[in-house]
Amino acid sequence: MKILVVLEHDQQQLRSGSLSAIGFANDLARQTGGEVLCLVLGDAGDPLAEQAAQFAPVLAASSPLLADPLADRHAHVIADVAGNRQVDLVVAASSTYSRDVVSRAGGLLGGAMASDIVSHSWIDGRLEMKRPMYAGAILATVVLQSSPQVVTVRPSAYPAAEPLATAGEITPLVVDDASLPSHASYDRLESKPSHRPDVTEASVVVSGGRAIRNSDDFERLVGGLADCLGGATGSSRALVDAGITPNELQVGQTGKIVSPDLYLALGISGAVQHLAGMKNSKRIVAINSDPDAPIFEVADYGLVADIYEVVPDLTSKLACDET
C-alpha cells in the first residue's frame, strides 16, 4: 500500500496526533509491504519538514497561499498529490483540521472515507477498521470499497511513531499558485494561549462541569489541580455554553475525544454525550456532590463532596513538584 500521511502543525510544531497517524501508517506499511510518505502543507519552510523527516520521508508543499489552513486549497493539493502519486491510502489524525480539510480531499478522491478509527487489521488483503458510532455506544467494523481510501485515526488509540534511524528524505513540492482555488480568505484565529498541554495530548486531564460558577473559580480549582499534576484542563459543554470556558476545552461527543492516563471529573454529572468524550481514559476519578450522578458509573474512584470544599484540599495533599 502506498500511504500518504497528511500532517498537522501550528506553524512551529507538528501536532502530536500526527505522530500517531504516522505510527498507524508505518504499522500498515509493514503489514502490507508498502511505503509511507508524509505531506506537510504550509509556508513555514524547512523546520517543519525536518521535524517530520525524523519519522518518514516528507513531501513539503510550500507556498504563502498555503500558510492559512483553508480547506479548499489544502484539499486541492492533497488530492493532487494523492492522484499524481497513485496513493492507495490517505491518512491523518482526527482533528477539526482533518475533518475540515482531509474530508474535502476525500470528496475530491471519490468518497471512500472512514473517520476516527480506533483499531485496524489487515485481513485477506483488505483493511478492516473499527470506529465508534452512537456517541461511542457501538463499535462498528468497517471496510472501504474503492480506492484511494481516506482514513483519520483517533490519536489516543495509536501510539506515536518511533523516530527513524536515519531521517527520511525531504522532497519539496512545487505548488502552482495559479491552480489553487481561492474561494475563501482567512481572517483571524482567536485562542487563549496556554501554558498547559493540549487536552487531546496530555496524560492527565482535569475537567470541570456545571458546579463551577465562573471563570475565576475554574482557573483556581480546575486549573490549579491541573497545574499541580502537570495536566491539561477540560470542560463539559455546560461551561462552554455559559461562556465560562472556551470551546476548545470542551470534552465530549461533539467536542474533543480524549483518553489520558488520568481523567478527573470535577462537578460533572456524566451525561452520555460527555462520557463519549472521555470514557476510554485509563483511570477516571469523579468528584460530585450528588451520589447518584451517572459519572460514578464510569469512574474508578469517586468522592461525594462539594468540589469547592475538597479540590483545594486535594490539590495541596497531592505531592506536587511545584506549588
Partner 1 sequence: MPPDLLSREIYGNIDATSKGIFYTLAAVALVVFVHGVYRRVRLWRLGRPDPASIDWGGTLRRLFSKVLSLRTLRGSRPRASLAHRLLFYGFLVLTIGTLLIAVEHLAASAAGRQPINPLFHKGIYFAIYELVMDIFGLALMVGCVWFLLRRAGLAGEKAGSAASIGQHWTDKLVLLALLVIGLSGYLVEGLRILWATTPEPGFSPVGLLAAWAFETIGVTAASASTIHLVLWWCHAVMALGFIALFPQTRLLHAIAGAIQLATVNRQPGQMQPVSIEQVEETGIFGVGRLVDFHRHQLRELDACVSCGRCQDACPAHEAGKPLSPRDLVQDLRAALDQAAPLLRRGEEGGQLHGEVIHPETLWSCTTCTACVTVCPLGISPLDMITDMRRHLVGEGKLRGSPATALQKVQRSGNPWGLPAEDRFNWREGLEVPTVGENPDFELLYWVGCAAAYDRRTQKIARAVVQLLARAGVNFAVLGPEERCSGDFVRRMGDEFLFQELAAGNIATLDSHGLASQSPRRQIITHCPHCLNSLVNDYPQFGGHYEVLHHSQYLAALVEEGKLKVSETAGRQITFHDPCYLARAQNVTEEPRQLVQISGNLVEMKRRRQQTSCCGAGGGRMWFDDGPDQRVGVSRVTEALETGAETVAVSCPFCLTMMTDGVAAKDASVEVKDVAELLLEAVTAERNETASNRS
Partner 2 sequence: MKILVPTKRVPDTDQKIRLRDDRRGIDIEHLPFVINPFDAIALEEAIRIGEQQDSVEVLAVGIGTELYETELRTALAMGADRALLVEVPDYSDAHAGLDSWNVACLLREIAHREEPDLILMGKQAVDDDASQAAQFLAALLNWPQATFASTIEIQPEGARVARETDSGIETIQIGLPAVISTDLRLNEPRYASLPSILKSRKKPIERISLADLDVPLEPRIKILNMEAVSAHRSCQFADNVEQLVEFLERDREQEEE
Does 253 sit near partner 1 (CB under 8 A)?
no
Q: Under DSSP, is residue 166 helix (H, G, I), strand (E, B) or coil? A: coil
Which range of residues in 22-30, 80-88, 105-113, 163-171 is near partner 2 by CB under 8 A?
A: 105-113
Does 220 sit near partner 2 (CB under 8 A)?
no
Q: With CB cut-offs between 5 and 8 Å by kind, which of partner 2, partner 1, none does residue 290 bind?
A: partner 1
Which of 308, 312, 267 has the alpha carbon at shortest distance from 287? 267
At 154, which amino acid appears?
A: R
C-alpha to C-alpha distance for 136 and 141, rounded to whole angstroms? 13
Q: With CB cut-offs between 5 and 8 Å by kind, which of partner 2, partner 1, none does residue 272 bind?
A: partner 2
Q: Which of 33, 193, 243, 291 binds partner 1 (CB under 8 A)?
A: 291
Peptide bond connecting 291 to the previous residue in cis, omega within 30 degrees of 0: no
Which range of residues in 48-56, 70-78, 159-167, 217-225 is near partner 2 by CB under 8 A?
A: 70-78
C-alpha to C-alpha distance for 21 and 35, rounded to whole angstroms? 14
User: Minimum CB separation from partner 2 for residue 41, in Å?
Assistant: 16
Which residue number, 108 or 242, has a Cβ lying nearer to partner 1?
A: 242
Which of 68, 63, 17, 8 has the alpha carbon at shortest distance from 38? 8
Angle between helix axes 71-84 and 96-108 (nearest 10 degrees) is 50
Looking at residues 109 to 148 of the shown chain, list those that interact with partner 2 (rule: CB under 8 A).
110-116, 128, 132-146
User: Minimum CB separation from partner 2 for residue 113, in Å?
Assistant: 6
Q: Are 254 and 270 in contact (CB under 8 A)?
A: no
At 2, which amino acid appears?
A: K
Which range of residues in 19-27, 71-79, 154-162, 220-228 is near partner 2 by CB under 8 A?
A: 71-79
Q: With CB cut-offs between 5 and 8 Å by kind, which of partner 1, partner 2, none does residue 305 bind?
A: partner 2
Q: Which of 32, 119, 194, 289 binds partner 1 (CB under 8 A)?
A: 289
CA angle 280, 18, 202 (to 5 degrees): 45
Residues in Cβ contact with 147 at an 8 Å cutoff, skipping those fewer than 6 apart = 88, 110, 112
The single-letter DSSP state of residue 165 is S
User: Minimum CB separation from partner 1 for residue 317, in Å?
Assistant: 23
Q: With CB cut-offs between 5 and 8 Å by kind, which of partner 1, partner 2, none does residue 86 bind?
A: none
